[in-house]
């Protein structure tokens, strides 16, 4: 128990639930399972945690709704099934959360929405706003236009990218296995469960095995997802969604499932990740007051502290922040393109809307997206 103190302290959770758990042996969505899961998530929120749910199950629900008896092979058929099934899936969650008077939001994303920097900022802004409003975002891949998860991942990778996006403390991958085993438990019933391991430990690759214990969306994709999540300092736990009170037990720090630990301070991991993410596209020159605010108080950069703009960057690009002597003091993802930054520099954030005719963010660079040099 003491060993998982770090997990018990996690406050922002991404919980991912796979199709195998949500479907009722080809009879569509398992409403009992969904209600049970939702009750567990409600309890987690009552403990003061924030919850983002990443749920598969749209394809499975669509297949049943369309009267098909087997999973199709053509990707467009799978996409069509996902489009049909998504509304059924979200209706189930809406009904279940509504019983607890908790609003949910349907969010459909692709991997590009998280790696393209402008969309990254938009998705991040919306998800943070939803969390602040007490809404549970229910995320799935936007299967109509992208097919990464439908073909390979069953949302494991998407869940990890979402964890990066919102700086989640922990990612819980719920599956129909108890966790990652040292050998395939189907071949060796005595195979031992890995309880805790460094996520970068090379011996894990052999255990997950190519083709995976579970095949599509199997342990290989889960391990890859855990490594992606670790980039922003998120801890990953893989556990069985069929175990009683699994969410409560994992999040209380009980020794359940497999914990793939990052071994890093989340703050440092995230900043390293940001720094490696993109090339610098331009720079802004700060006044002495802004340099102090950034370097000493660790606050966001506001337009009022900027006195010069160099280069031709877009929203979401990485820009270098320089002091009045031209020395780089920080770099970060900028919320406004170069042209708009020139127009709002030196002005109070409350004036952004009247100058530009719109306001996206009050900061020019949010402190979470800023790395001090
Ligand atoms: N995004 C898909 C879903 O929700 C992935 C799962 C699948 O391909 O079956 O159904």
The tens-digit pLDDT sequence of the chain (373 residues) is 457 999 999 999 999 999 889 987 767 899 999 999 999 999 999 999 999 999 999 999 999 999 999 889 999 999 999 999 999 999 999 999 999 999 999 999 998 888 777 888 899 999 999 999 999 999 999 999 988 878 777 899 999 999 998 999 999 999 988 999 988 777 788 889 999 999 999 988 888 765 443 335 578 889 999 999 998 899 999 999 999 999 999 999 999 999 999 987 776 677 777 766 667 889 999 999 999 999 888 899 999 999 999 999 999 899 999 999 999 999 999 999 999 999 999 999 999 999 999 988 999 999 988 988 8
3-state secondary structure of 136: strand
Ranges of CATH 3.40.1160.10 domains, the chain: 5-269
Nearest CA to ligand 1 atom 8: 150
- Residue 345 is encoded by which pair of tokens? 């520099």
Mutate which of 20, 140, 159 for ligand 1 pocket (most atoms within 8 A of beta carbon): 140
Q: Name the maximum alpha-carbon separation found in the chain.
A: 69
Q: What is the structure's pLDDT at 23? A: 86
Q: Please give the distance, rounded to the nearest whole angstrom, from the Cα atom of residue 237 to the centre of ligand 1.
A: 21
Give residue ranges with CB within 6 A of ligand 1: 19, 56-60, 82, 140-141, 143, 149-150, 154-155
Mutate which of 26, 74, 76, 141 for ligand 1 pocket (most atoms within 8 A of beta carbon): 141
Mutate which of 23, 155, 175 for ligand 1 pocket (most atoms within 8 A of beta carbon): 155
Handedness of CA 148, 149, 152, 156 (dihedral sign): positive
- Sequence length of the chain is 373
Nearest CA to ligand 1 atom 9: 59
Q: Please give the distance, rounded to the nearest whole angstrom, from the Cα atom of residue 232 to the centre of ligand 1.
A: 25
Q: Which atom of ligand 1 is nearest to the CA of 55?
A: 4
Nearest CA to ligand 1 atom 7: 150
Q: Please give the distance, rounded to the nearest whole angstrom, from the Cα atom of residue 80 to the centre of ligand 1.
A: 11
Q: What is the structure's pLDDT at 209? A: 65
Q: What is the structure's pLDDT at 264? A: 73
Strand positions, DSSP E, 142-288: 170-175, 196-198, 235-240, 258-261, 280-286
For residue 194, with 0-12 CB atoms within 10 Å meaning exposed, 13-18 middle and 19 or more buried, which class applies? buried
Q: What is the structure's pLDDT at 214? A: 36
Identify any residues that bridge with 284 across adjacent strands, giving them in sequence order: 309, 321
Specify the pTM. 0.87
Q: Which atom of ligand 1 is nearest to the CA of 86?
A: 4
Nearest CA to ligand 1 atom 4: 56
CA–CA separation, 81 and 92 (whole Å): 17
Q: Which atom of ligand 1 is nearest to the CA of 81?
A: 10
When the candidates are 2.30.130.10, 1.20.140.10, 3.30.420.270, 3.40.30.10, the CATH number that belongs to 278-372 is 2.30.130.10
Query: Under 8 Å CB-to-CB from 288, ≥6 apart: which residues?
Result: 323, 324
Query: Under 8 Å CB-to-CB from 267, ≥6 apart: which residues?
Result: 233
Q: What is the structure's pLDDT at 263? A: 80
Q: How many helices (H) and strands (E) does the chain have?
A: 16, 13
CA–CA separation, 268 and 249 (whole Å): 28
CA–CA separation, 6 and 263 (whole Å): 11
* 215: number of Cβ within 10 Å: 11
When the candidates are 1.10.530.10, 3.40.430.10, 3.40.1160.10, 1.10.275.10, the CATH number that belongs to 5-269 is 3.40.1160.10
Q: Please give the distance, rounded to the nearest whole angstrom, from the Cα atom of residue 130 to the centre of ligand 1.
A: 24
CA–CA separation, 326 and 291 (whole Å): 12
102: phi then psi, degrees, rounded to nearest 5: -115, 125
Strand positions, DSSP E, the chain: 12-17, 50-55, 104-109, 136-141, 170-175, 196-198, 235-240, 258-261, 280-286, 306-311, 318-322, 328-333, 370-372
* β pairing state of 235-240 and 170-175: parallel
* 312: number of Cβ within 10 Å: 11
The residue with tokens 């209600």 is: 35
CA–CA separation, 231 and 209 (whole Å): 22
Do 110 and 145 form a contact (C-beta atoms < 8 A)? Answer: yes
Query: Under 8 Å CB-to-CB from 252, ≥6 apart: which residues?
Result: 8
The residue with tokens 């009267």 is: 67
Ranges of CATH 2.30.130.10 domains, the chain: 278-372
């Amino acid at each position: 128990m003491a060993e998982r103190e770090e997990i018990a302290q996690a406050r922002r959770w991404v919980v991912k639930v796979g199709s195998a758990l949500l479907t009722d042996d080809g009879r569509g969505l398992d409403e009992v399972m969904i209600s049970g899961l939702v009750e567990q998530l409600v309890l987690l929120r009552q403990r003061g945690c924030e919850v983002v749910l990443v749920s598969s199950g749209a394809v499975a629900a669509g297949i049943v709704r369309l009267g098909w008896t087997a999973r199709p092979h053509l990707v467009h058929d799978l996409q069509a099934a996902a489009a049909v099934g998504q509304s059924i899936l979200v209706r189930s969650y809406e009904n279940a959360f509504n019983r607890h008077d908790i609003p949910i939001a349907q969010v459909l994303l692709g991997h590009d929405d998280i790696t393209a920097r402008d969309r990254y900022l938009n998705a991040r802004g919306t998800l943070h706003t939803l969390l602040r409003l007490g809404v549970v975002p229910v995320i799935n891949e936007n299967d109509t236009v992208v097919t990464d998860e439908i073909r390979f991942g069953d949302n494991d990778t998407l869940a990890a990218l979402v964890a990066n996006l919102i700086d989640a403390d922990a990612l819980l991958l719920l599956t129909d296995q108890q966790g990652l085993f040292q050998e395939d438990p189907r071949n060796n019933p005595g195979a031992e469960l890995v309880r805790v391991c460094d996520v970068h430990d090379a011996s894990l690759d052999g255990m997950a095995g190519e083709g995976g214990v579970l095949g599509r969306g199997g342990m290989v994709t889960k391990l890859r997802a855990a490594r992606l999540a670790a980039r922003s300092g998120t801890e990953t736990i893989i556990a069985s969604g069929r175990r009683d009170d699994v969410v409560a037990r994992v999040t209380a720090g009980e020794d359940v499932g497999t914990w793939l630990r990052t071994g890093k301070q989340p703050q440092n991991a995230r900043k390293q990740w940001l720094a490696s993410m993109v090339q610098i596209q331009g720079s802004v020159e700060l006044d002495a007051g802004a340099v102090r605010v950034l370097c000493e108080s660790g606050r966001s950069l506001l337009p009022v502290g900027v006195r010069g703009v160099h280069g031709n960057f877009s929203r979401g690009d990485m820009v270098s922040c320089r002091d009045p002597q031209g020395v780089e003091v920080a770099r970060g993802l900028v919320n406004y393109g170069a042209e708009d930054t020139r127009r709002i520099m030196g002005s109070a954030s409350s004036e952004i809307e009247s100058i530009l005719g719109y306001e996206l963010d009050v900061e020019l660079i949010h402190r979470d997206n800023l790395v001090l040099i």
